[in-house]
């Protein structure tokens, strides 16, 4: 029974009038916590959280310790800051809306400082826990994420805390104000909602495995798949916690290490802002996954506002039902994710399309984490376990992440030997090179580009004393200026300066007209190119014992013994 009900009934309110906490919430508040409307809210508890920060002397880093009692289960976590670069304050975020006058009919707008308030990403690899910790202005913390791979923890909206829990109806005593616990060095923070992580409603789902090819080269020690994530506005802050959970699945791999990175986030603000989904709708809530995936690949191949070196893979997260057309009037709805095998980094000029795309069906509550890990697994080379092309020796019924159906057992959070081998093979290929470059780490120093200080007209005025003729994407490679004395004649002497405006929220960078936020990635590329100029060339690879070296040592020892007998 929910703790809120229990306390209200103790207060003498008739049982028939007892209200659950979510019944005090607006629809938006309920959706932000449970990702479901009021009548579909799962069983939950409202619990206090014990929190403290300690120092790991060996690792020289802070550890966040959490204690929670929920559903009669004592949850104790030791959370470390995420090793790697999943996201940071510089991760660019754009809104996208339909606009017939914009390129491709889509208008992108960068959200300034969008990630400033997101919080700190924490993980406990041992328990597969991933939490987003956000400090509050009054010195408390909000927690959002997954605990022990079993529970979802969600912070409560400010209105519910102030007007329902601690003020107004006073359903709970604000324990954090007392700061009294069984352990003197632990402190209470706000109450949080905790519920069990929902399993998929379609447990025997099919995740389609398109065809791929395999060729080999050397593997690096660490690869960095960089994702451009397209999602609905309602799951924006949930998104970072969600991908932290996906990243945890790849932390189990050591040769090579795989560290996921969110290169950018696109927030769709209307249904027409994702035409590759909307134009392939079937009936009310279904999407033809085959056609939508092809359309998405075609779109991102054409979309020059996101240059190819900015991201490796584009993933669309949708709450629509993905389905596969079986007949003209029946679309089979068991598919929860869709992606190309070995599609990462792909840009096919012949087909004018990209296979570096995937789609995930996500209805909230973190239930899509395994599905997303599975689809990313496809994109970096893995096939379904049991597939005769490379995974024959790993039975599908063993239930690892790359099984074709969700088995819901312990193996479902690990990779089969066949998947690990497939990752290694794909990363050895020349076409996987885009995964090698390291994304931006931490906050970078702002760089002032010359084009931001001088308009296109000003640049032409310096040369000819006239105005610019072209102020669109063409100026990035060739800035035409009005020629003095000849009306209607334009002449170019150079491309527009780096950073020059080439449209709304667009700038020139390396000869391309790209979105303003792309600048972050380019800073890192410039630094990397500078280093490559002076550092010796070498391939990163894992050092391995080679059998014939042991044989040579053995022969050498035999010769020594013969010579000195």
Residues in the annotated binding site? 374, 378, 384
| Paired residues of 74 in beta bridges | 69
How many Cβ atoms from other residues are within 10 Å of residue 400's Cβ?
A: 26
Q: Quickly list DSSP for 121-135.
A: EEEETTTTEEEEEEE
| Paired residues of 359 in beta bridges | 316, 338
Kindly give, in sequence order, each residue whose CB lies less than 8 Å from that of residue 556, ignoring residues fewer than 6 positions away. Answer: none
Beta strands at 129-135 and 93-98: parallel, antiparallel or unpaired: unpaired
Helices and strands in the chain, H and E counts: 12, 26
Q: Could you tell me if 506 and 515 are in contact, meaning their C-beta atoms sit under 8 angstroms apart?
A: yes
Q: Could you tell me if 341 and 378 are in contact, meaning their C-beta atoms sit under 8 angstroms apart?
A: yes
3-state helix, strand, coil in the chain (%, to 5): 30, 25, 45
Give the integer Cα–Cα distance in Å for 279 and 282: 9
Is 375 part of the annotated catalytic residue set?
Answer: yes
Q: Which one of the listed residues 375, 482, 498, 522 is annotated catalytic?
A: 375
12 backbone dihedrals φ, ψ, rounded to 5°:
95, 10
Q: Where are the alpha helices (DSSP H) in 464-516?
A: none
Provide the token pair at 364.
Answer: 């909230």
Residue that the structure tokens 């490379």 belong to: 390
The binding site for Zn(2+) comprises 374, 378, 384
Q: Which residues are catalytic?
A: 375
């Amino acid at each position: 029974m929910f703790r809120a009900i229990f306390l209200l009934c103790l207060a003498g309110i008739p049982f028939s009038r007892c209200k659950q906490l979510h019944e005090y919430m607006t629809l938006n508040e309920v959706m932000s916590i449970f990702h479901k409307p009021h009548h579909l809210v799962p069983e939950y508890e409202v619990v206090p959280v014990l929190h403290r920060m300690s120092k790991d002397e060996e690792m020289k880093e802070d550890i966040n310790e959490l204690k929670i009692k929920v559903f009669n289960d004592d949850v104790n976590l030791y959370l470390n800051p995420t090793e790697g670069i999943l996201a940071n304050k510089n991760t660019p975020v754009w809104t996208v809306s339909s606009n017939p006058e914009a390129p491709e009919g889509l208008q992108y707008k960068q959200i300034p400082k969008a990630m400033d308030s997101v919080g700190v990403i924490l993980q406990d690899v041992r328990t597969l826990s991933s939490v987003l910790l956000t400090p509050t202005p009054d010195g408390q913390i909000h927690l959002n994420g997954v605990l022990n791979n079993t529970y979802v923890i969600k912070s409560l909206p400010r209105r519910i805390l102030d007007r329902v829990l601690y003020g107004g109806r006073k359903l709970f005593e604000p324990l954090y104000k007392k700061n009294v616990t069984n352990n003197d060095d632990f402190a209470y923070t706000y109450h949080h909602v905790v519920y069990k992580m929902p399993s998929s409603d379609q447990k025997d789902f099919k995740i389609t495995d398109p065809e791929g090819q395999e060729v080999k080269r050397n593997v690096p020690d660490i690869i960095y798949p960089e994702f451009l994530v397209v999602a609905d506005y309602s799951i924006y802050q949930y998104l970072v916690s969600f991908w932290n959970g996906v990243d945890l699945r790849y932390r189990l791999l050591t040769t090579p290490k795989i560290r996921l990175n969110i290169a950018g986030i696109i927030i769709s603000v209307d249904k027409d802002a994702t035409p590759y989904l909307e134009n392939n709708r079937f009936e009310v809530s279904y999407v033809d996954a085959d056609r939508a995936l092809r359309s998405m690949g075609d779109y991102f191949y054409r979309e020059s506002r996101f240059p190819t070196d900015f991201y490796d893979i584009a993933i669309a997260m949708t709450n629509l039902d993905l389905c596969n057309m079986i007949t003209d009037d029946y679309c089979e709805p068991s598919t929860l994710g869709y992606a190309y095998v070995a599609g990462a980094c792909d840009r096919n000029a012949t087909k004018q399309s990209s296979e570096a795309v995937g789609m995930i069906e996500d209805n909230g509550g973190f239930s899509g984490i395994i599905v997303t890990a599975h689809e990313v697994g496809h994109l970096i080379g893995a096939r379904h376990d049991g597939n005769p092309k490379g995974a024959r020796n790993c039975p599908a019924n063993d239930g690892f992440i790359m099984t074709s159906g969700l088995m819901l057992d312990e193996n479902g959070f690990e990779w089969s030997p066949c998947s690990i081998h497939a990752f290694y093979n794909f990363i050895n290929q020349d076409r996987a090179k885009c995964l090698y470059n390291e994304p931006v780490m931490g906050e970078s120093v702002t760089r002032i580009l010359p084009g931001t200080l001088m308009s296109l007209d000003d640049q032409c005025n310096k040369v000819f004393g006239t105005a610019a003729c072209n102020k669109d994407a063409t100026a990035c490679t060739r800035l035409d200026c009005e020629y003095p004395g000849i009306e209607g004649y334009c002449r170019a002497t150079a491309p527009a300066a780096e950073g020059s405006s080439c449209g709304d929220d667009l700038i020139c960078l390396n000869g391309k007209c790209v979105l303003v936020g792309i600048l972050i990635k380019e800073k890192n590329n410039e630094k990397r190119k500078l280093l490559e100029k002076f550092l010796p060339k070498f391939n990163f690879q894992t050092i391995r014992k080679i059998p014939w070296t042991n044989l040579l040592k053995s022969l050498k020892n035999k010769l020594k013994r013969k010579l000195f007998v």
